[in-house]
Amino acid sequence: MGMTGRQKVLKTLYPIFSVFNYLTGRGTSIRREKNAAIPPSNIYEMIVDLNNGTRFSLDNWKGKKILIVNTASNCGYTPQYEELQELKEMFEGRLEVIAFPANDFKEQEKGTDDEIASFCRKNYGVTFPLASKSSVKHGPGQNPVFQWLTQKERNGWNNFQPPWNFSKYLISEDGRLLACFDPSVSPISKEMLQAIEG
């Protein structure tokens, strides 16, 4: 699936958009776990419905860091797909990335699972897994993985839910939620690289 005119404009404007957000501090917060909290609930028990119709256990990634990101195809941050792919390749064997497409914010992900997968592969070279489209915001339909990420009683410390598309959650090699990154924080920012290397 090729890019629409809007998607091409967003891709072109992304570098300017990123610099503006960095200079103004808009959407650049990073929340870090400070006390090595043991999660009351085990993220490795989570099974993810992938958008190719298969199911995947996060237990397969035990021993590696995991970056979980809620995504959309028609967002100013959509070019971060390319940066997420670059990040995965940079830390091959040490970091896994998984995207959770969602239509929660201004209906910026209207595509079907097949359309989303085609768009990501064709335009951004994405090879990491994509979950089936779901909701990432608090509520009865919230994806179980995002319930774990955004409820302190499950992850041990964090109640922060995604404020927008491309919020990022970093999981440690032993299944702890290490940090939450706002959408404007680039996947290849020094803050992200330090958190992964730490």
Q: Average pLDDT by consecutive 10-residue portion of the chain (198 residues)?
A: 75 66 72 90 98 98 98 96 98 98 97 97 97 96 98 96 97 97 95 95
Residue 98: per-residue pLDDT: 98
Residue 24: per-residue pLDDT: 67
Residue 131: CATH number of its domain: 3.40.30.10
Residue 35: per-residue pLDDT: 85
Number of domains in the chain: 1
The tokens for 177 are 């939620």
Q: Is there a contact between 11 and 3 (Cβ–Cβ < 8 Å)? A: yes
Catalytic residue among 75, 99, 126, 196: 75
180 is annotated as an active-site residue: no
- Which domain covers residue 82, as residue numbers? 5-197
Residue 198: per-residue pLDDT: 87
CB environment 97-135: b (16+ within 10 A), e (fewer):
bbbbbbbbbeebbebebebbbebbeebbebebbbbbbbb
129 in the Ramachandran plot: left (φ > 0), alpha (ψ -120 to 50) or beta?
A: beta
